[in-house]
Amino acid sequence: MNSKVTPISGFPEWLPAQRIAEQHFLDTIREVFELHGFASVSTRSVEPVERLSNQGEDADKEIYAVSRLAGGDDAEARLGLHFDLTVPFARYTLENAGKLTFPFRRYQIQSCWRGERPQRGRYREFIQADIDIVDAGELPFHYEVELPLVVADAFSRLPVGPYKIQVNNRKICEGFYRGLGIEDVTGTLRTVDKLDKIGPDKVKALLQSAGLSQEQADQCLALAAIATPDSSFVDQVRALGVEHELLDEGLAQLKAIMDAAAEHAPGVLSAELKIARGLDYYTGTVYETVLNGHEDYGSICSGGRYDALASDGKRTYPGVGISIGVSRLLGLLIGEQGLTASRETPTAVLVAVNDDDSRAESMRIATALRARDVPTLVAPKAAKFGKQIQFADRRGIPFVWFPGSGTDGGDAVKDIRSGDQIDADRATWAPPTADLKAALVSPPTD
């Protein structure tokens, strides 16, 4: 039975060379997370809908419900696919608190699902890479300093181009608003968070329609306009003449982050006091990351401090986390800019087959090379050598091994890019390090 294949929007799939590029990003991110002492966890894909829908978003409109087609009366819970990794991690922490060692440093790289209209950089299925540090009772502030430096380390090893991690502290905003006499702090934060989408004039109108005076609205916009690559934001905020204890605390904490960044990741972080993050559970430092020149694409890495996301009623587990939107990032780098891999297969060597009777010997050679971690494939057919070379060339495989074609009946290996052929011993030969794995390749710029 023939059926027409119809693509489903919002579920990205890559071709083999693009998938190698994606895997390189995932492997690099994982390696950096582990270098910084984070342990891997994996959580189930589904959570009770009630848990997912209680997180300060229009979650009911976004959650994919899960049910058995023959469900009948077996409705033990309404389940939904998780739309981020923070909510399931909070549940995981509560369920396993007695078995975890705190402070617990976790990383998690998994798919998430959001039932929203797909658009540029936003998908229905996507991969996120999260790190969180959670403690029992209290979480020291210094972890808020650490997380953006981990991201900076990961991005320094990847071809993401120039980027900026924008940092703010919710205590600055809340303390400033309270110092102005504003009572609806949460509503004001949400409105100011719309600055990049609707602009200052509309934000000011919204603030005033919510009951703020013109002076209060102007002060809120003046605070949001402050952005510095260093700690000079402190003096600029002080110049606005607003005082509050919480404001002082937030300024001191953000200054500590910027001072650490100046030493460990110079030029990467920016203090941006307009960054608020719309989710209610953030209570301290907040992060958003944009690619320079692609600010309209939005944040590709974000997160912040939360003090009460995970609580069992007796004990609270505060934490700080940051999430790399891997699919979102690669939607730009691979999907739009053409980042790919140098070959469509991990294979570095194709072992030629002289004839059907000698295939067993070609397999022995491949086994010897693989034993030394050289990705190797045996040719599918004992065709003419020219066709076997063509088979390798089409897949980007750089080397072809010819059994018995070397001096005195030994083997030979050919770099099919240059045409150079040399005698080779299967027990010692290895390709250059640069050819052992497929390399990332960016398209030429005009």
Q: Are residues 222 and 303 in the same domain?
A: yes
Q: Are residues 231 and 153 in the same domain?
A: yes
Angle between the N-to-C axes of helices 200-209 and 185-192, in degrees from 0 to 180, rounded to the nearest 10: 160
Q: Are residues 205 and 114 in the same domain?
A: yes
281 is in an annotated binding site: yes
Q: Rounded CA gap, 440 and 263, in Å?
A: 30
Please say which residue of 306, 340, 374 terminates a domain.
340
Q: What angle do CA 174, 55, 30 make, to 5 degrees?
A: 95
Cβ(426)–Cβ(404) below 8 Å: no
**Exposure b/e, 326-348, CB count within 10 A at least 16 = b:** bbbbbbbbbeebebbbbbbbbbb
Please say which residue of 310, 340, 370 terminates a domain.
340
pLDDT tens for the 446 residues of the chain, in order: 567 888 899 999 999 999 999 999 999 999 999 999 999 999 999 999 888 887 555 556 689 988 887 665 555 568 999 999 999 999 999 999 999 999 999 999 999 999 988 999 999 999 999 999 999 999 999 999 999 999 999 999 999 999 999 999 999 999 999 999 999 998 998 899 888 889 999 999 999 999 999 999 999 999 999 999 999 999 999 999 999 999 999 999 999 999 999 999 999 999 999 987 765 678 899 999 999 999 999 999 999 999 987 888 889 999 999 999 999 999 999 999 999 999 999 999 999 999 999 999 999 999 999 999 999 999 999 999 999 999 999 999 999 999 999 998 999 999 999 999 999 999 999 999 999 999 999 877 65
Q: Are residues 248 and 371 in the same domain?
A: no
Closest CA relative to residue 158, chosen from 446, 442, 374:
442
User: Which residues contact residue 70 at a Cβ distance below 8 angstroms, ignoring those fewer than 6 apart?
Assistant: none
Q: Are residues 71 and 100 in the same domain?
A: yes
Please say which residue of 317, 340, 363 terminates a domain.
340
86 is in an annotated binding site: yes
Cβ(258)–Cβ(269) below 8 Å: yes
Q: Are residues 336 and 408 in the same domain?
A: no
* Range(s) of the domain holding residue 406: 345-441
Asked if residue 104 is part of any domain, the answer here is yes
Asked if residue 10 is part of any domain, the answer here is no
Q: Rounded CA gap, 394 and 415, in Å?
A: 14
Asked if residue 361 is part of any domain, the answer here is yes
Asked if residue 331 is part of any domain, the answer here is yes
Q: Rounded CA gap, 314 and 324, in Å?
A: 32
282 is in an annotated binding site: yes
128 is in an annotated binding site: yes
Q: Which two tokens stand for residue 151?
A: 């991201």
114 is in an annotated binding site: yes
Q: Rounded CA gap, 133 and 147, in Å?
A: 9
pTM (two decimals):
0.92
Strand 399-402 and strand 349-351: pairing? Answer: parallel
Q: Rounded CA gap, 179 and 220, in Å?
A: 11
Q: Are residues 185 and 246 in the same domain?
A: yes
DSSP state of 268: T
Asked if residue 446 is part of any domain, the answer here is no
